[in-house]
Amino acid sequence: MDTAKEGLAMEIILISMSLVFFFALAFIIFFVVYQKRLLKQERTQQEKELMYQKELLQASIDGQEQERLRIAKELHDDVGTMLTTTKIYTGQLLNQLDEENRIRLSTKMNELLGATIQSVREISHNLRPVILDKLGLHEAILALVDTVNQSGEIQLNYTKQGAMHCTKEQGINVYRILQELITNTMKHARAKRVSIQLLAEADRLSIIYKDDGIGLDVKGTILKKGIGMKNIESRLSVLSGIINYENTASGFHAEMMIPLQSDVRR
Amino acid sequence: MNEQFYENLSLVSTFLIVVPFAVTCVRWRRLAKTQKRLACLVAVVAIVELVANLLWRQYINNHPVYHVYSILEFLLILSIYSSYFDRTRINKVFFILGASFTLFALANMLFWQSPLEFNSNVTLTSSALIITLSLSSFYRMLIGPVYTTLHLIPIFWISAGLLLYFSSNIVLFYLGSRVELTYEDSLPIWGLHSIFNCLLILFFTVALWIQPKKG
């Protein structure tokens, strides 16, 4: 081989080696940059999940506080007031010798004690519906629907398909979710009719909730920050369930799917 | 650049192996499994470089040393990756690969390239396989959990060093075996090879120096 050809061969080898080297280097740099990007995405996702969990926890705490406040208010305003009045009447009864007044006061005391018993029952029922434990979710929902329909504010229509085989914990959570949805509709939706459909299958429970109100602001405060909605999500997360909201011109529409396996992880 | 410069570069590249060897001696007890296997490779490289240099200075053909070294080097690199992948099925594949490569290297020595010749067939095959192993480890790092501290993963430094070194040298071994160059003309090429060798040794040093962290 002459000198010129040898020089050219040497140059070709050198350039080829350098090119391949830089190609390999570029691959490694790309790998490192890509890893960093993945890491950043993963951290952002973790932060979002953490924030969401915090919001759920806060909603749960707020919900508990609201419930305590409601119970305290009902005890103070209803039961407390009635018992205080009864005590005053008892004091008057001791001083009254007149037969007519004694009968009148006794009747009033009897009415107040009856009202107090009713009040205590209602508080107890709101804390944990007895019917749910005794007769199950379907009967409890029927009772809830009856109670709401009797109020005359809105008309609830409830249908169920299939046999439900859920645990008591699943039952109370589904019941509370429906309660929360109905409360939201009554408070915000200005609806006249609500439809609740339960489809019970062997391994899942599907719930379709619809109202004919003005709909909830999906992007606004009600869904994003409302304690009620956070409570629903919190309960669904306990049940490993999912919810999809939809706002249509004809009102609010929510679809939930809850797995019913006995080994659902909590 | 004169001949002396390339000779000095070659000497630096040869004796730089002392650095990772020293790191191994200092940190041996704290080394992880993968690092210990790399330390064995470093020790073998150090011994081979020493013997080959001594033979070369005595004007004795040192190619037989590299015939044996090629087999040892591939098997040790295979064992490094086997400790990283750490799965029974992959280890079986690695065992078959190691045995086949050893048989091929011995057959090459007996039938095609005598121990006194440069074993380009074996070197090329081993380079191609090591590049594949390196790329496989990068792929595994990519599909696996995201590392928060990539710079503290020894296999990252090992794979990066091996990929850089063998991808450029596969060109050298392939073209070098097909073109005959005079000693003077081949000096820049071996100079570049020495630079890549230094880089590989530095990557090995980092891989041995770091304290591995999971995740």
Report pLDDT digits (tens) over B59-95.
Answer: 888 899 999 999 999 999 999 999 888 777 888 899 9
pLDDT of residue B177: 74
What average pLDDT does range B6-21 have in this prediction? 87
- Regarding whether A138 and A230 lie in a shared domain, the answer is yes
Instruction: Tell me how far apart the alpha carbons of residues B169 and B203 are, in angstroms, rounded to a whole number.
Output: 16
Least confident of A92-96, A229-233, B48-52: A92-96
Give B180 or A264, the one with higher predicted confidence. Answer: B180
- The encoded tokens of residue A188 equal 């915000």
pLDDT of residue A225: 53
A228 pLDDT tier (thresholds 50, 70, 90): confident
> Residue B174: closest CA among chain A residues belongs to which residue?
A13
- Regarding whether A11 and A117 lie in a shared domain, the answer is yes
Handedness of CA A89, A93, A95, A99 (dihedral sign): positive
Task: Tell me the nearest-neighbour CA distance from A19 into chain B, angstroms.
Answer: 8
Residue B181: its chain A contacts at CB < 8 A? 1, 6, 9-10
pLDDT of residue A220: 52
Task: Tell me the nearest-neighbour CA distance from B144 into chain A, angstroms.
Answer: 11
Residue B196: its chain A contacts at CB < 8 A? 17, 21
Q: Does residue B183 register a pLDDT over 80?
A: no
Q: Do A25 and B164 touch (CB under 8 A)?
A: yes
**A115 C-beta neighbours (distance < 10 Å), count:** 16
Q: Does residue A3 register a pLDDT over 80?
A: no
> Residue B199: closest CA among chain A residues belongs to which residue?
A21
What average pLDDT does range A178-182 have in this prediction? 90
- The encoded tokens of residue A73 equal 């208010």
Q: Do A34 and B176 touch (CB under 8 A)?
A: no
- Regarding whether A154 and A82 lie in a shared domain, the answer is no
Assign residue A149 the CATH number of its domain. Answer: 3.30.565.10
Last residue of a domain, one of A127, A151, A176: A127
Last residue of a domain, one of A65, A92, A127: A127
Residue B188: its chain A contacts at CB < 8 A? 10, 14
- The encoded tokens of residue B43 equal 């020790």
- Regarding whether A121 and A9 lie in a shared domain, the answer is yes
What are the residues whose beta carbons fall under 8 Å from the beta carbon of A214, sequence distance 6 or more? A188, A189, A190, A191, A251
Q: Where are the domains of chain B?
A: 3-209
Name the residue among B163, B181, B185 with its Cβ closest to that of A24: B163
Q: Do B148 and A39 touch (CB under 8 A)?
A: yes
What average pLDDT does range A153-180 have in this prediction? 88
- Regarding whether A142 and A110 lie in a shared domain, the answer is no
User: Long-range contacts for A127-132 (Cβ within 8 Å, ≥24 apart)?
Assistant: A127/A71, A128/A172, A129/A175, A132/A168, A132/A171, A132/A172, A132/A175
What are the residues whose beta carbons fall under 8 Å from the beta carbon of A58, sequence distance 6 or more? A230
Residue A15 sits at the chain B interface (C-beta within 8 Å): no
Which one of B134, B151, B168 makes the best mutation probe of the A interface by having the most chain A beta carbons within 10 Å?
B168
Which one of A19, A28, A34 makes the best mutation probe of the B interface by having the most chain B beta carbons within 10 Å?
A28
From residue A95, give the alpha-carbon distance in Å to each of A100, A101, A105, B150.
13, 11, 12, 89
Least confident of A62-66, A241-245, B10-14: A62-66
Please indicate, yes or no, if residue A154 is contained in any of the structural domains: yes
Q: How many domains does chain A have?
A: 2
Please indicate, yes or no, if residue A265 is contained in any of the structural domains: no
Residue A14: its chain B contacts at CB < 8 A? 188-189, 192
Residue A27 sits at the chain B interface (C-beta within 8 Å): yes
Residue A50 sits at the chain B interface (C-beta within 8 Å): no
Quote ipTM for the complex. 0.88
Q: Do A17 and B172 touch (CB under 8 A)?
A: yes
At A110-156, the pLDDT tens digits run 888 888 888 887 777 777 777 887 888 899 899 889 988 988 888 99
Structural domain containing residue A80 = 1-127
Please indicate, yes or no, if residue A264 is contained in any of the structural domains: no
Task: Tell me the nearest-neighbour CA distance from A56 into chain B, angstroms.
Answer: 27
- Regarding whether A249 and A216 lie in a shared domain, the answer is yes
Q: Does residue A87 register a pLDDT over 90?
A: no
Looking at residue B123, its amino acid is T
Last residue of a domain, one of A82, A106, A127: A127
Which one of A1, A2, A13 makes the best mutation probe of the B interface by having the most chain B beta carbons within 10 Å?
A13
Instruction: Tell me the average pLDDT of chain B.
Output: 88
pLDDT of residue A226: 67
Which one of A3, A31, A46 makes the best mutation probe of the B interface by having the most chain B beta carbons within 10 Å?
A31
Least confident of A46-60, A225-239, B101-115: A225-239
- Regarding whether A157 and A117 lie in a shared domain, the answer is no
What average pLDDT does range B16-38 have in this prediction? 91
- Regarding whether A151 and A86 lie in a shared domain, the answer is no
B169 pLDDT tier (thresholds 50, 70, 90): confident
What average pLDDT does range A259-266 have in this prediction? 57
Q: Does residue B215 register a pLDDT over 70?
A: no
Handedness of CA B190, B196, B202, B203 (dihedral sign): negative
- Regarding whether A196 and A141 lie in a shared domain, the answer is yes
Residue A34 sits at the chain B interface (C-beta within 8 Å): yes
Instruction: Tell me how far apart the alpha carbons of residues B215 and B213 are, in angstroms, rounded to a whole number.
Output: 6
pLDDT of residue B47: 92
pLDDT of residue A42: 87
- Among residues B129, B41, B51, the alpha carbon closest in space to that of B79 is found at B41
Q: Does residue A218 register a pLDDT over 70?
A: no
Residue B185: its chain A contacts at CB < 8 A? 6-7, 9-10
B86: left (phi over 0), alpha (psi -120 to 50) or beta: left
- Taking a C-beta distance cutoff of 8 angstroms, is the pair B184, B3 a contact? yes
- Regarding whether A139 and A58 lie in a shared domain, the answer is no
- Regarding whether A170 and A154 lie in a shared domain, the answer is yes
pLDDT of residue B100: 95
- Taking a C-beta distance cutoff of 8 angstroms, is the pair A191, A148 a contact? no
Chain A with chain B: Cβ pairs closer than 8 A: 73
What average pLDDT does range A199-228 have in this prediction? 75
Q: Does residue A177 register a pLDDT over 80?
A: yes
Please indicate, yes or no, if residue A148 is contained in any of the structural domains: yes
Looking at residue B22, its amino acid is A
pLDDT of residue B130: 95
Q: Do A35 and B146 touch (CB under 8 A)?
A: yes
Instruction: Tell me how far apart the alpha carbons of residues B100 and A31 are, in angstroms, rounded to a whole number.
Output: 31
Q: Do B186 and A28 touch (CB under 8 A)?
A: no
- Regarding whether A169 and A114 lie in a shared domain, the answer is no
- Taking a C-beta distance cutoff of 8 angstroms, is the pair B39, B31 a contact? yes
pLDDT of residue A96: 61
What average pLDDT does range A167-178 have in this prediction? 87
Give A167 or B215, the one with higher predicted confidence. Answer: A167
A197 alpha-carbon distance from chain centroid: 17
End-to-end CA separation in angstroms for chain B = 47
- The encoded tokens of residue B182 equal 């005079």
